[in-house]
Amino acid sequence: MNQQLWWRGAIIYQIYPRSLKDTNGDGIGDLPGIIEKLDYIASLGVDAIWISPFFKSPMKDFGYDISDYRAVDPIFGSLEDFDRLIAKAHSLGIKVIIDQVLSHTSNQHQWFVESRQDTLNDKADWYVWADAKADGTPPNNWLSIFGGGAWQWEPRRKQYYLHNFLSSQPDLNFHNKDVRTATLDNIEFWLKRGVDGFRLDAINFCYHDQALRDNPAKPAEKRLGRGFSEDNPYAFQFHHYNNTQPENLAFMQQIRQLLDRYPGSAALGEISSEDSLATMAEYTSGNNRLHMGYSFELLTDEFSASYIRETVEKLEQQMTDGWPCWAISNHDVKRVMSRWNPEDHQPNKAKLFNAVLATLRGSICSYQGEELGLCEAELAFDELQDPYGINFWPTYKGRDGCRTPIPWHCDQDNSGFSTGEPWLPVAKNHLEKNVDCQLKDSGSVLNSYINFLRWRSTQSAVISGEISFIDTPEPVLAFKRFDDSQTLFFFYNLSAKEQFFDLKELASIKEIKDHGLNSGSYENGRFQLPSYGCLVFQSE
């Protein structure tokens, strides 16, 4: 693999550190726990890890509210632990990507503590402040993703500040050059410690419209995407002015210029805009902005072969020189096993979904537990920790169900995650899917994941080749991946029902059977695909 372009086609394993492994018995996963499990992660065949925030934080949003960008929160360990983690990962050939939450800080960050005091201090313009309207109401109609208005009154300054997320997460003012400089300095701090890249949280939220124009109303039939259900007023607006401003493109270029000084480092942007695919293409174009982008198009409840095809093809049409990254689960959404065909939890479904993701064109984010086929954990209201879920219960149960601890063993307390009481309970329906038992079962989801990624690592067309879709009846998803050296054909049955169809156009093909999935049969143009089965061919 070209070390300068290691990220192209990489399998990136997302670690939610609170829930991977606790080593000190406080019930919260930590950096030493990640170090302990790096050998296991390396055995999966992944290329990199992405570690969700471990920085100093009051944990109002579990680390996405940072109070010190250069310090490890004591619940996770120390900077020395992080240095050991980097060294261990690199010794295993694993790249390390860390989260950077740039658009906002915690309200306990020293920058904000100073900024809120008055309008004359050195940090006065570091956050987005605005006067009240004549009647005392907020300056405009912008809304918070977590519900309600996006403005919070600050009595010290006698002004409102903007928060696109929780009120404890004030938005930085990126129109201020000093903010941009300080942000880049914080990124470089971690580059100097040896990180290989960054996952940039909500990166299109850095800039706001300086005129503070109202967002226009959105018709009810267009209130779709990223889990914004009808009970969340955030879906009632077109968010034209509180994010995705044109000035952000120049800042993307500044980030890229910094990373280019550290050869081999890469930036992956999380993008959620009114047209996220178009923004992904824009933010990764020209070889001078972000290296990769990902959005929530495959993280929604919408699911069909045609939807996946249309989503990928739409991005391919727009992203002519950028590089995509795909995910079907992460720490913000219901696990894919409970989101796509939710009535069915059979292992072959998990195996197939992992394979579909791993064969799309682009890099791949695989969330911890997907290799085990975990479904969403069901929690009682009094077990919830996520403020989003607490606020919207019971119509929306929040993000805790995808964040519960990983089950490691069948015969240890808390399935080997912690000797103390876990911050979220280990789900009972996860216990039988523990790592130890699956490693001993040759037919398990885990061993299928390992075997498929091992096979994928030898297929240049899958890692960096092109993609072209093949017309097949629903629910069959079919495409070919190709480069100068090989052409591969993939046929996936996305349902629990056996599928039969005819396709005469293929010629001079040879079936590949060593991928470890539930194979179908093909003869004289007639396809048979079993429940969550597949066929893979290569050109002869």
If you average pLDDT over residues 121-141, what whole number do you get? 98
Q: How far apart are CA 198 and CA 259, in angstroms?
A: 10
Residues with Cβ within 8 Å of 51's Cβ and at least 6 positions away in sequence, in order, are: 15, 17, 34, 96, 97, 98, 99
Spatial CA neighbour of 107 closest among 153, 76, 52, 146: 153
**What's the mean pLDDT in 230-254?**
93
DSSP 241: S
Mean pLDDT of 26-34: 98
| Spatial distance between the Cα atoms of 147 and 498, rounded to a whole number of angstroms | 43
Spatial neighbors of 109 by CB under 8 A, at least 6 apart, are 66, 67, 68
- As a whole number of Å, the end-to-end CA separation of the chain is 25
Amino acid 226: pLDDT: 53
pLDDT attached to residue 509:
87
Helices and strands of the chain, counted as H and E runs = 13, 21
Which region among 3-7, 149-153, 305-309, 489-493 has the lowest average model confidence (pLDDT)? Answer: 3-7
197-201, strands of its sheet edge to edge: 292-294, 266-270, 197-201, 95-101, 48-51, 11-15, 363-367, 325-326
For residue 395, pLDDT over 90 is answered with: no
With vertex at residue 7, the alpha carbon angle to CA 367 and CA 1, rounded to the nearest 5 degrees, is 120
Q: How confident is the model at residue 190 (pLDDT cuts 50, 70, 90)?
A: very high
The pLDDT, as a whole number, for residue 230 is 58
Would you call 221 a catalytic residue per the annotation? no
Distance between CA atoms of residues 234 and 217, nearest Å: 10
Backbone angles phi, psi at 479, to 5 degrees: -160, 165
Of 201, 297, 316, 332, the active-site residue reads 201
CA angle 294, 298, 304 (to 5 degrees): 155
30 vs 223, which has greater pLDDT? 30
**pLDDT at residue 540, rounded to an integer:** 79
d(CA 71, CA 88): 20
Mean pLDDT within 125-142:
98
In which band, very low, low, confident or very high, does the pLDDT at 350 lie, cut at 50, 70 and 90?
Answer: very high
Q: Identify the band that residue 148 occupies on the pLDDT scale cut at 50, 70 and 90.
A: very high
Please give the domain boundaries of the chain with CATH numbers for all domains: 3-105+177-456 (3.20.20.80), 466-539 (2.60.40.1180)
Instruction: Give CA–CA dist 15/403, Å, rounded.
Output: 10
Instruction: Report if pTM > 0.75.
Output: yes
Question: Angle at Cα 66 formed by Cα 65 and Cα 70, nearest 5°?
Answer: 165
Confidence of residue 2 (pLDDT cuts 50, 70, 90): low
- Report the pLDDT averaged over residues 390-417: 94
Mean pLDDT of 231-244: 93
Each residue of 68-100: pLDDT tens digit?
A: 999 999 999 999 999 999 999 999 999 999 999
pLDDT value for 225 = 54
User: What is the Cα–Cα distance from 536 to 517, expressed in whole angstroms?
Assistant: 10
> Higher model confidence: residue 340 or residue 515?
340
Instruction: Write down the pLDDT at residue 198.
Output: 98
312: three-class secondary structure by DSSP: helix
Q: Could you tell me if 503 and 488 are in contact, meaning their C-beta atoms sit under 8 angstroms apart?
A: no
Peptide linkage before 170 cis (omega within 30 of 0): no
The string of pLDDT tens digits covering residues 263-304 is: 999 999 999 999 999 999 999 999 999 999 999 999 999 999
Mean pLDDT, all residues of the chain: 95
Is 471 assigned a catalytic role? no
According to the model, what pLDDT value does residue 221 have? Answer: 86
Q: What is the mean predicted confidence (pLDDT) over 476-503? A: 96
Q: What is the pLDDT of residues 437-485, one digit of tens each?
A: 999 999 999 999 999 999 999 999 999 999 999 999 999 999 999 999 9
Cis peptide before 475 (omega within 30 of 0): yes
pLDDT value at position 229? 54
User: What span, in angstroms and rounded, lies between the C-alpha atoms of 61 and 385?
Assistant: 9
Residue 461's pLDDT is what? 97
In 7-65, which residue ranges form alpha helices assigned H by DSSP? 31-43
DSSP, residue by residue, 344-368 = ---HHHHHHHHHHHHHSSSEEEEET
Which residue stretches of 193-335 are H helix? 248-260, 276-283, 305-318
Task: Given the residues 73, 171, 270, 282, select the one marked as catalytic.
Answer: 270
What's the gap between Cα 214 and its chain centre?
A: 30
